[in-house]
Chain A
């Protein structure tokens, strides 16, 4: 990262507070969040449920605008959804009424950039994920892991710089999940994407991330930040779990999590 300190961060949140309003109450999902993500970084966000992780992703994706504070990408405030940011949900949500190929072209259709060139790129990604032989198939014929891979291609086909991953592995079985972690990790590294992963799985967050933000809840706030040492950071998630120091790091994150869950109970 050859950036001068004054250059704008890839993603920057400053004093972000967000309220959810209903007729019965105003619920503060996150309060005064400040964080900076540099280009090409892989950030993991962990915390007890209800700590506003998904809210932060929605704010970065421009699905919602913050009640107070500023969310900016490349120094420009986020005003709505943009092509720059891709979002992956907990489940694949492929459209059953479209073939795999047409699911992958969905973003191209919406953004009006479908051309032979962009189609070729999408099909190339499909090939990278070893899915080219099912391009004409229906989503219903695919396994969970394959479907989630298709969803990744659908997101990457629009060539976003930033990828927001909202627990994309949580609906998969353990083996598939480990394989997909490696695949997504290496794909994002290769394509030099900036990524933010929300997860409940602490070891996943250590294995995949460059940095981890731990959140506390009521309201959601950053409780601590942990940098991952290079040895673990640079190995594939599967190997990272066997690196020296992984267990120590796991215990540290575990302790931090105990702190925030205790704090939540104390409230």
Chain B
């Protein structure tokens, strides 16, 4: 087969691929628009209760007016801030605990049942304890965002450490390496992809923790807006907050996913 022919076949394939991608994207957009349109029409014709479900144009209007009078951004900023802190703390502390129990097999055996219990525990049930302990404010919300991801991080990272092929450890040992070398040269780099995958899970978890935390106790944040909107029966406010959460949480997740792709490219 001639080079020209091969190229033309490949070009044709690329064109087909581009076309497919375009259709997928187009259908995705149409689906979303259809959903919005249907919602709008059903609510305006009173087929569904507009008071409970609100409708897109009203939510959009609410969004604009709140954005312009400056009463919206502090809520968004607060929640994002709390989520990032909770996420970082949970991940960091979880990784540190995992390192400690990797370092000391004794500690690992001692802590094992406690980890199992802590993991089975629904963390949001600890809300009242946090509020009493940290006071009704920022600290409690962050503690919730952190608590929800810390144990699962510990367990995931530790099992990642343990799954590292022992022969890599043997290589370092036979070259005269000690435990510190093993950790720095083998365990950490080998589990780097696991660590980054854990980050992706933790972003989602921290959102859960923070929103629930704000439900329970707070004067500011998207979780607060939802609860407030619910109490005063302003469902436009609730729907708007949900939409904002969907957008911001997706952005954050994609940010971490991007980071993961960049940092693990050398492993693939």
Partners in one complex: yes
Residues of chain A whose beta carbon lies under 8 Å from any beta carbon of chain B: 61, 63, 81-83, 85-87, 89, 91, 93, 95-98, 106-107, 109-111, 138, 154-155, 158
With A and B bound together, what is the CA distance between A95 and B172 in angstroms? 11
How many contacting A-B pairs (Cβ < 8 A)?
58
With A and B bound together, what is the CA distance between A61 and B190 in angstroms? 24
- Let me know if B176 and A91 touch, CB within 8 A: no
- With contacts A89-B170, A93-B165 taken as known, whether A109 is within 8 angstroms of B185 at the C-beta atoms is yes
Majority SS at the chain B contact face: helix
Residue B2 at the A interface, CB < 8 A?
no
Contacts of A82 in B (CB 8 A): 176
- Let me know if B170 and A63 touch, CB within 8 A: yes
With A and B bound together, what is the CA distance between A109 and B181 in angstroms? 9
Give the distance to chain A from B105, nearest Cβ to Cβ, in Å. 15
Give the distance to chain B from A170, nearest Cβ to Cβ, in Å. 14
- Let me know if B266 and A63 touch, CB within 8 A: no
CB-nearest residue of chain A relative to B172? A110
Residue B192 at the A interface, CB < 8 A?
yes
- Let me know if B266 and A86 touch, CB within 8 A: no
Contacts of A97 in B (CB 8 A): 189-190, 192, 266-267
Give the distance to chain A from B113, nearest Cβ to Cβ, in Å. 18
Interface footprint category on B: 10 to 19
- Let me know if A107 and B267 touch, CB within 8 A: no
- Most chain A beta-carbon neighbours within 10 Å: one of B175, B189, B266: B175
Contacts of B173 in A (CB 8 A): 63, 81
Q: Which of A91, A107, A138 contacts B175 (CB 8 A)?
A: A107
Contacts of B175 in A (CB 8 A): 81, 106-107, 110-111, 154-155, 158
Give the distance to chain B from A214, nearest Cβ to Cβ, in Å. 25
Give the distance to chain B from A109, nearest Cβ to Cβ, in Å. 7
With A and B bound together, what is the CA distance between A63 and B206 in angstroms? 43
- Let me know if B176 and A93 touch, CB within 8 A: no
Q: Can you report 14 A-B residue pairs in the complex whose CB atoms are below 8 A from each other?
A: A81-B174, A83-B176, A85-B174, A86-B174, A87-B170, A89-B171, A93-B170, A97-B190, A106-B172, A106-B185, A110-B176, A110-B177, A154-B171, A158-B175
- Most chain B beta-carbon neighbours within 10 Å: one of A61, A106, A155, A158: A106
CB-nearest residue of chain B relative to A108? B175
Contacts of A109 in B (CB 8 A): 185
Residue B81 at the A interface, CB < 8 A?
no
- Let me know if B174 and A91 touch, CB within 8 A: no
Contacts of B165 in A (CB 8 A): 93
With A and B bound together, what is the CA distance between A260 and B165 in angstroms? 33
With A and B bound together, what is the CA distance between A96 and B171 in angstroms? 14
Residue B186 at the A interface, CB < 8 A?
yes
